[in-house]
Amino acid sequence: MRRAPRGNVLPAVVPDPLRPILALLLAAATLLAGCGTVGQGAGDASAVDATQDAVSAEPQPPLDANLFVLDPNRGVVGELQVTVAREEDTFVEFARTYGLGFDELAAANPEVDPWLPGAGTTIVLPTRFLLPRAPREGIVLNVATKRLFFFPPAVPGVPAIVQTYPIGIGRTGWSTPTGETSVTGKARDPVWYVPASVREEHAAMDDPLPAQVPPGPDNPLGNRVLQLGLPGYLIHGTNKPAGVGMRVSHGCVRLFPEDIEYLFDQVPTGTPVRIVNQPVLLARDDVDLLLEVHPPLEESADSWVDDLPPRLERARASLGDSEVAIDSSRVDDILAQARGFPVSILAGGKDTAAQLRGARRVENVIVYEQPIEVAGYEQPAEVIAP
């Protein structure tokens, strides 16, 4: 069943979440991530203190975290939320239920055990996002934040919107490439033609793979694929949803099954795709300046903040007030913590603790009694060239 888009423009929806899984099973699942040719188929103490105001408030329904109306004068969407864990909850369930990625939750909650948060533990839901530095059109993938942004074509008389979803990306040694491309094809219930390099890797681990995997629950591409102009790279679903929001694939981009199904129906062939690597995001929010920092990918860890000083000065000057000052010590703190949600960097603005105190407290809507629906698969049809 498709989880309805989440965001502050639609009512909150309770999705069908995953059942809890063991960390060991997740680790094993990440090894099988398919990319290639496709065929058409049938907190520390201070962090705890900072959230007390939000936690003491009466919980409200969660806000939609996937769909937002765009303001042309603002580079931020969404609202920070917090909820409270129950004994059986893990980050896998929080991620799927609230439209987030596993690594996003881990960064936002650095002192919480992702597999055993514990009953009564406050969980920060980083559902406020700075938009990447890229044209607001088509698909923009930010591999550093492990998040996809889709800007549908404008409709006269209708507010512009953005959809955003967590993604799994290429693991170290199999990095998802950056650059500009486009959607060149679409396929339902794809056949996975396993690349030779992937088969060799699995053979070396005594885990041989067939030359092709037919549609069905064992296909790591899931049941929807968007083909890209970059040979061998795809945006697709997954049969291992727990890996969404992590570095788990052989370079392709994977989404939750409900997200790729929804996106598939809206994205036409020819849609531009820009893949960027931006762990440090900076944007105006009216008269405020916000900084959002994510841990850099291993391969870019040496240069991830090189361009920040001039960007900060340009952003400050854009406010048009010579009296406005940037709190440099707060910038240093945000860079060091890299918690993945926006924080004001202006002197007198809300710091991280204040942001958390003001976060919206929402109900824990994880549900375990409902089974996950598995989409049906059609019989394989003709093969489509990549």
pLDDT at 34 over 70: no
- 311-342 as b/e: b if 16+ CB within 10 A: ebeebbeeeeeeebebbeebbebbeebbbbbb
Would you place residue 262 in the very low, low, confident or very high pLDDT band (cuts 50, 70, 90)?
A: very high
- The confidence score (pLDDT) of residue 162 equals 97
Structure tokens belonging to residue 35: 């990319």
CA distance 242 to 134: 29
Is there a catalytic annotation at residue 252? Answer: yes
Give 192 or 270, the one with higher predicted confidence: 270
- The confidence score (pLDDT) of residue 320 equals 79
Catalytic residue among 35, 250, 252, 294: 252
pLDDT at 194 over 90: no
- The confidence score (pLDDT) of residue 369 equals 61
Residues 6+ apart with CB under 8 A from 19: 368, 372
Q: Looking at the chain, which residues constitute the CATH 2.40.440.10 domain(s)?
A: 23-276
Give 55 or 81, the one with higher predicted confidence: 81
Catalytic residue among 35, 236, 250, 294: 236
Classify 99 in phi/psi space as left (phi over 0), alpha (psi -120 to 50) or beta: left
- The confidence score (pLDDT) of residue 69 equals 96
pLDDT at 380 over 80: no
CA distance 251 to 275: 12
- The confidence score (pLDDT) of residue 257 equals 95
CA distance 121 to 115: 12
pLDDT at 14 over 60: no
CA 286 to each of CA 29, 71, 274, 300: distance values in angstroms, whole numbers, following the listed order: 43, 10, 27, 31
- The confidence score (pLDDT) of residue 353 equals 95
As a CATH number, domain 23-276 is 2.40.440.10
Q: Is 305 helix (H, G, I), strand (E, B) or coil?
A: coil
Q: What percent of the chain has pLDDT over 90?
A: 58
Give 203 or 370, the one with higher predicted confidence: 203
The overall pTM is greater than 0.75: yes
User: Per residue in 224-241, pLDDT tens?
Assistant: 999 999 998 999 999 899
User: Per residue in 320-367, pLDDT tens?
Assistant: 777 789 999 999 999 999 999 999 999 989 999 999 999 999 999 999
CA distance 237 to 232: 15
